Amino acid sequence: MISTKNTEARDTLFEPLTIGAVQLKHRIVMAPLTRMRASRPGNVPNALNALYYTQRATEGGLIIAEASQVAPEGQGMPATPGIHTDEQRDGWKLVTDGVHAKGGRIFLQLWHVGRISHSSHQPGGLAPVAPSAIAAEGNAFTTDFTPAPFEVPRALSLDEIEQIKQAYVAAGRRAMEAGFDGVEIHSANGYLLEQFMISRSNVRTDRYGGSLANRMRLPLEVAEMLAIDLGSDRVGIRLSPFGIANDSGETDPLTLYREIIKELNKLKLAYLHLVEPRASGAGQRDVNHQNVPSGCQTFRPYWDQILITAGNFSADSAAETVAKGDADAIAFGRYFISNPDLPRRIQRGDPFTPYDRPTFYGGGTQGYTDYHAFGI
């Protein structure tokens, strides 16, 4: 169990914060967490999902809901929710209604996994899509939750890239129709938008490959289009500088992420959400990479808006990071799973309930909605 007794530092996390168009009463954010419990067929959010999020909502607190595919081709894991059909939109409305009823705020993370998929998820059983026909190392989750090696993907055409951009905009509109307060663009952890950014997964020779400016083009275009369509104060973006998840990683990550953050900064988005390098790959196993840089310290000078950071924070280190100004808010993931009342526990210095990793992905209520508030 983890707790904090440093009351003075802890109070820093409970100062009000404005993120874009959203007013918050504290700076503890629930990170987006894939849980694979959407209803199938259709990958539709359901009443159980609504209960899970409502349990973790706090008055004036922000939840970033789990990554949701913007198109059928964007799916890479079984029972992950989408936001590309009206049925999915209506399912998400159950979630947003529950969170708002408790005074919480909620954004939806928009997702396309690219090559981190398997043909069993793809319409017609086709190969997954990617910037280039280069397979990732490692295993995919097939539709029946069994592992299988990543397949060689099919390189996207320019027309298909345009369709994907439009899919992000359509998904953003559906998210707002579903009652979300905003959206977060998933451009981290080795998924499609980051695949375009990384030279080892992008060997294109057209306007989306080659130079640094070309490799950054797609995530920047998606961010600009969503900012124009929804309003920049309703759009955030997630990046994983120095990350190694899902066979990602760049030879010169400092230059890549410095430049894309400087370009994103011009869009005046609601926030930038960083995954700390020490937590790269945490979804697959417990990690705490050593001798790695601090993402928020490294890139804070290039970002003028709200900065959220996530990755293996304790209550004390979270408070210290905000107090120093390295970040404005801290996102917690795994401990939000097992502590639905996490902000209150941090505020009071109560211990954290340990999480149960085998129940993270798939299943029913166990390890999902059966965790209790402290003292219950």
Q: Please identify every residue annotated as catalytic.
A: 191
Which of 59, 12, 20, 31 shows the shortest CA–CA distance to 312?
Answer: 31
Amino acid identity at 103: G
